Structure 1
Amino acid sequence: MTDLLSPDKTQEALRAAHLYYMQDLTMEAIAHELGTSRSSVSRLLKSARDTGLVDIQIKSPLDQATVVGEAVQHRFGVVAHVVPVPDQAGDVDRLDRVALSAARTLTPYVDSNMVIGVAWGSTLSAISRHLVPKATHNSLIVQLNGAANTRTTGIEYASEILRRFGHAYGAVIQQFPVPAFFDDPATKRALWRERSTRRVLELHERMDLVVFGVGARGALVPSHVYSGAYLEESDQASLEHDRVVGDVATVFFREDGSSVDIALNQRGSGPDLATIRRVPRRVCVVAGTAKVAAVRGTLAAGLVTDLIIDEGTARALLAS
């Protein structure tokens, strides 16, 4: 993530960007006009892009990613942002490329006076490292689900993701310091009646934007909930029995989008799917064909308004 520029550097970056993108001057000509070096101009232009002063969009009816995106949008009724990634790319590189595109796509969605829900996990961690700073006021970032398990509080992992989001957008952060999964559903019901917990749950009800990845049991880049000691063997067997294909913020669902009678959801701390569906803008970020079944479930559940996905996975989704 790139820090905000100082006012003087912002002015320099703006002037360089205007000369380069609006007046078609070469970097050598800009360097001469600004009395600096070509390498300094290059750094100014990069800063202008990284901090959101310049927003570059590629729109072409011949672009394959655009064609695939339009097909996804037509079939599933969501706004699709398809990220071109070579088929031979490794899964870690694929995730990082999608995360970078997602971070830049999010920028215009974020505004002042918003409550923004953020899940934790491998995908959101990757996105948080690429966020483009955008100054807002009276905005709040709220954690969607608890992160504690029997081995760790999860606070350090989740709070770092929240911190990056809060820093990028100048927003206050609200953690949710509860277990990812309770041992007993009765304990969860009791804690959910506490005023301190109710305050966070009420923020979930007021969210204007929610950003999440999709957990999948067979993903090659393991979803954190499946690789971070959150699930016992009995939990895994329960998910298998209930035909679960994935989760959003540790709320599990089947490929048809249903979540009724999935036992583990009674103990989970994430917002129920109805709460997510009420959020005006719901941004789902996915990388990797191993998540196709989980993405289908997410779409079938009506959880997504905006889907950011790599091209190979989008094609596999359309073919499934």
Structure 2
Amino acid sequence: MTRRIPGGDEAFDDALRVARMYYLLGLTTTEIAKQIGLPRPTVSRLLSWAKESGLVEFRINDHRERQLSIETKLEDMFHLADVKVVPCPPDQRVEERQRSVAAFTAHYLNGLVKAGSTISLAWGATISLLAKSLIPKPLPGVTIVQLNGSGNSGLGTEFAAEIISTFAQNYTAAAHLLPIPAYFDDPNTKEAMFRERSIRRIRTIAETAQILLFSIGVPDADSYVYRAGYVENREFIALRNQGVVGDIGTVFFRVDGSYKDIEMNLRSSGPELATLADHQHAICLVAGEKKLPGLLGALRGGFLNTLIIDQPTAELLVKNS
């Protein structure tokens, strides 16, 4: 209950009027004093009484509290080292949420990268957005390396090279491209190429990087692997029939995290998914509900240890897990 101000109703009305002018209109105590004809010390006393009596109440709406709750739940559910939920309105377009996740990750990444760091990148639409959001941090001895091949498509080769180049420029880093196809025609050709000393050297750099960055490619979202022609229609149908829900670095997997018996993976230049979480920071960026089945598969397979995700998708993930 509001405690009455000494001086009766007139003083109460003055306190109410002063509080509205100060808190709602943003006027200073000097401006209020001039307008209502009271001394400034009296205005200050009325404001103090308004707070002490409960006439004016303050409330802090900390939406971060809910985010922290979701982060903790996901860390516990999937045994993750770190989860970051990026606040986004539930009705926000997926493209805007993707940009928010990319911008957040750029800040997060700069907190991890230090002199001598190696960053391995699985190129794709989300990592391209991240590249465009990077915050310059020149450092000595940083290395940027391409995780999986990008051949088979001229546009894909340029796309991957641009991402690697942007990261390298941002950190004044050495850049290592992986000049092989995304998918080989024959598994034997792949094995022979992987034995080549120059290719083996780049793959070793990628496999031992402290930081790994990737997203989940899914058939029903704006995934570069699918829209750039890496997967032919007959292959797409075969993947569907095998229960594939997504890919990481051009290696496909199912919703239960299984992947070793998927035929197309035998021809993929991508990584061994089971070892991804061995990186100190295996960071997966996700935005949008269409990526949820793929994300669930990646989590069940244990392919990541760090997740950065938009809040609406994170809430769905908790609900469906």
TM range (shorter): 0.7 to 0.9
Letter in structure 1 aligned against 2:93: G
Letter in structure 2 aligned against 1:288: G
Give runs of aligned pairs for residues 223-302 of structure 1, distance below 5 A: 223-302=223-302
Give runs of aligned pairs for residues 47-86 of structure 1, distance below 5 A: 63-78=65-80, 79-86=82-89
Letter in structure 2 aligned against 1:88: D
- Alpha-carbon separation, structure 2, partners of 1:164 and 1:153: 16
SS for the counterpart of 1:63 is helix
Aligned position for 1:9: none
The answer on whether the counterparts of 1:212 and 1:249 sit within 8 Å (CA) in structure 2 is: yes
- Alpha-carbon separation, structure 1, partners of 2:64 and 2:266: 48
Quick check: 1:187 aligned with 2:194? no
Matched positions, count: 259
1:107 to 87, 110, 115: 110
Quick check: 1:98 aligned with 2:101? yes
CA shift for structure 1 position 239: 0.9
Quick check: 1:156 aligned with 2:158? yes
The answer on whether the counterparts of 1:238 and 1:263 sit within 8 Å (CA) in structure 2 is: no
TM-score normalized by the length of structure 1: 0.78
SS for the counterpart of 1:215 is coil
- Alpha-carbon separation, structure 1, partners of 2:217 and 2:172: 28
The answer on whether the counterparts of 2:156 and 2:228 sit within 8 Å (CA) in structure 1 is: no
- Alpha-carbon separation, structure 2, partners of 1:281 and 1:62: 23
Over residues 8-52 of structure 1, what are the superposed CA-to-partner deviations in whole Å (9 max), with x where a residue is unaligned?
xxxxxxxxxxxxxxxxxxxxxxxxxxxxxxxxxxxxxxxxxxxxx
Letter in structure 1 aligned against 2:98: L
RMSD, matched Cα: 1.6
- Alpha-carbon separation, structure 1, partners of 2:88 and 2:63: 18
Q: Which one is further off, 296-305 or 120-129?
A: 296-305
The answer on whether the counterparts of 1:204 and 1:271 sit within 8 Å (CA) in structure 2 is: no
Aligned position for 2:198: 196
CA shift for structure 1 position 187: 1.1
The answer on whether the counterparts of 1:61 and 1:67 sit within 8 Å (CA) in structure 2 is: no
- Alpha-carbon separation, structure 2, partners of 1:239 and 1:141: 31
Give runs of aligned pairs for residues 122-201 of structure 1, distance below 5 A: 122-149=125-152, 151-152=153-154, 154-201=156-203
CA shift for structure 1 position 163: 1.2
Letter in structure 1 aligned against 2:228: G
Cα gap change, 1:184 to 1:153, in 2 (>3 Å): farther
Over residues 65-93 of structure 1, what are the superposed CA-to-partner deviations in whole Å (9 max), with x where a residue is unaligned?
22222221222222110011111111211
Cα gap change, 1:312 to 1:199, in 2 (>3 Å): same
- Alpha-carbon separation, structure 1, partners of 2:289 and 2:64: 24
The answer on whether the counterparts of 1:238 and 1:264 sit within 8 Å (CA) in structure 2 is: no
- Alpha-carbon separation, structure 1, partners of 2:140 and 2:156: 28
Give runs of aligned pairs for residues 298-317 of structure 1, distance below 5 A: 298-317=298-317
- Alpha-carbon separation, structure 2, partners of 1:72 and 1:205: 26
The answer on whether the counterparts of 2:277 and 2:305 sit within 8 Å (CA) in structure 1 is: no
Quick check: 1:209 aligned with 2:211? yes
CA shift for structure 1 position 64: 2.2
- Alpha-carbon separation, structure 2, partners of 1:91 and 1:198: 38
Letter in structure 2 aligned against 1:143: Q
- Alpha-carbon separation, structure 1, partners of 2:241 and 2:184: 20
Letter in structure 1 aligned against 2:87: P
SS for the counterpart of 1:245 is strand
The answer on whether the counterparts of 1:147 and 1:153 sit within 8 Å (CA) in structure 2 is: no
Letter in structure 2 aligned against 1:261: D
The answer on whether the counterparts of 1:114 and 1:138 sit within 8 Å (CA) in structure 2 is: yes
Structure 1: which 5+ residue stretches go unaligned? 1-58
- Alpha-carbon separation, structure 2, partners of 1:304 and 1:60: 29
